[in-house]
Structure 1
Amino acid sequence: MVASSSPEAQQMDEAQAGFDEGPCLQAQRSNTIIRVFDVRQEKRWPQYMDEVRSHGLRSALAVPLTVNATATAAMNFYTHEAAAFTEEDVEAAKEYAELASTVVAIALHIAAHAENAEDRRIAMESRTTIDLAAGIIMGQNRCSQDDAVRILKDASNLRNIKLRVLAEQVIASVGHGPTSTNFES
């Protein structure tokens, strides 16, 4: 994920990602703060530094974010002045990084819960369709629920179609429209 405070910063971040080299990626990979005092003198990341120089930027600061055990990120700061980042600036950037780390971790946590909730909703809707189809088979064959589900599964395997799709076909075959669940949104 790339987020930027200006179009120029976004261009620099996209270039860095395209070259797969630069201070932000180094900070992210090494979990260390990377300072570039003067891009005109910087020898690391040659392709990326050429791009930075062409935009008139002269110094950069990259600060790693601590998101979680599996996600890493970093923040980039750029200026048009050489050696512009003081120790106070680095400390302020570290504070921003701590806040950003917390926000990103919370956002990832919320996104994971939303995804899980959506997966559960889809599973419950599929379960409703399968249960209705099993009920139809039970009525038609005068069999138990377990036998009806087994019939559905066997037919699904034989026809090589998903169980939910077969269940929808069974329901449609008795003249009913698509199934719906009664879950509140």
Structure 2
Amino acid sequence: MNDPFTSPTPRNTATTSTGDDALRHRLHASVAASPDLLAYLDSLTSTAVEALSSPGQEVFCGVTLIRARKATTVASSSDRARRMDEVQYKFGDGPCLTAAQEEREIYISDIEDLAATSKYRAAMEDHGVHSVLATPILLPATSYSALNLYSTEPQAFTAAARRLARTFATHASGPLKLALTVADLADTGADLQAAMESRRTVDTAVGFIMSQNNCTRDQAIATLRQTASTRRITLRDLAESIVTKATNATDVTDRHLS
């Protein structure tokens, strides 16, 4: 997409004050209260809507999270916000993706300022959205995130509103880093558990082959690997098949003997 997005702020900057303490505490507390990363992101969008909406001026909020070797994660404050975000993912480009990946604020004060031929403009107009603000949430290494704000009114995000969005994004950065660390540890634990289960399955299959063929462990492993290669399936899948068949055969034998 070649639309001329404006970006008055190259990086996310904000000053803190005593009045921000409650928001900072709430964002940190929601990490502990959320069962997983997506739940935390959902909580983040809800808090953003409360903090950034004003009387007579409701905003719709989404959060984009991009991690290396992980699917892009999206959380939305409402179905309407979700549909707005989906427009960008459909095109593979847009304010929130640019803000996240380039770590700079993107503000479209009026959708009508975009080229008349812009597909993004047409899609936003179809949904009744007239202004978009995407503010990066800075993260370390290969993770990127952005707060995506939409309004049905043009010129909806004043300079003060954009400062508030940057402050919110700054406060959200630390808790989101913590939530990512917790999620990565959970993923590592799940991967280790899966690896252990796979190892146990292969060991059981090797034992069945040794018993059936009266061979050594090394010979059984070699047979298992050769068969998996010939059939073009993974070692674990073949092992599971062997264990299942052997277990079923044992069950039949036991029933006949009982």
**TM-score with structure 1 length normalisation?**
0.69
> Quick check: 1:75–1:97 contact (8 Å CA) kept in 2?
yes
Tell me, what secondary structure is at the counterpart of 1:3? strand
Tell me, what secondary structure is at the counterpart of 1:69? coil
> Quick check: 2:134–2:146 contact (8 Å CA) kept in 1?
yes
Residues 30-109 of structure 1: pairs in structure 2 closer than 5 A? 30-43=102-115, 46-109=118-181
User: Which range is displaced more, 21-30 or 167-176?
Assistant: 167-176
Structure with more contact order per residue of length (Cα contacts < 8 Å, sep ≥ 6): 2
User: Which range is displaced more, 76-85 or 147-156?
Assistant: 147-156
> Counterpart of 1:92 in structure 2: which amino acid?
L
Task: Find the counterpart in structure 2 of residue 169 from structure 1.
Answer: 242
Task: Find the counterpart in structure 2 of residue 14 from structure 1.
Answer: 86
Higher alpha-carbon Rg: 1
Task: Find the counterpart in structure 2 of residue 113 from structure 1.
Answer: 185
The CA distance in 2 between the partners of 1:125 and 1:97, in whole Å, is: 41
> Counterpart of 1:64 in structure 2: which amino acid?
P
Tell me, what secondary structure is at the counterpart of 2:154? coil
Please give the root-mean-square deviation of Cα atoms over the aligned residues, in Å.
3.5
Tell me, what secondary structure is at the counterpart of 1:57? coil
Within the alignment, does 1:127 sit opposite 2:185 as a pair?
no
> Counterpart of 2:99 in structure 1: which amino acid?
A
> Structure 1, unaligned stretches of length 5 or more?
178-185
With over 3 angstroms needed to count, the CA separation of the structure-2 counterparts of 1:37 and 1:153, relative to structure 1, is: closer
The CA distance in 2 between the partners of 1:126 and 1:117, in whole Å, is: 14
Q: How many residues align?
A: 177
User: Which range is displaced more, 63-72 or 43-52?
Assistant: 43-52
User: Which range is displaced more, 89-98 or 129-138?
Assistant: 129-138
Alignment identity in percent?
Answer: 37
The CA distance in 1 between the partners of 2:228 and 2:153, in whole Å, is: 67
The CA distance in 2 between the partners of 1:167 and 1:60, in whole Å, is: 51
The CA distance in 2 between the partners of 1:10 and 1:166, in whole Å, is: 42
The CA distance in 2 between the partners of 1:127 and 1:90, in whole Å, is: 53
Deviations 1:59-108 (A, max 9, x none): 22110122342232322212233323223221221122234444444444
Residues 137-176 of structure 1: pairs in structure 2 closer than 5 A? 145-146=217-218, 148-150=220-222, 152-154=224-226, 156-157=228-229, 162-164=234-236, 165-166=238-239, 169=242, 173=246, 176=250
> Structure 2, unaligned stretches of length 5 or more?
1-72, 252-258
Task: Find the counterpart in structure 2 of residue 2 from structure 1.
Answer: 74
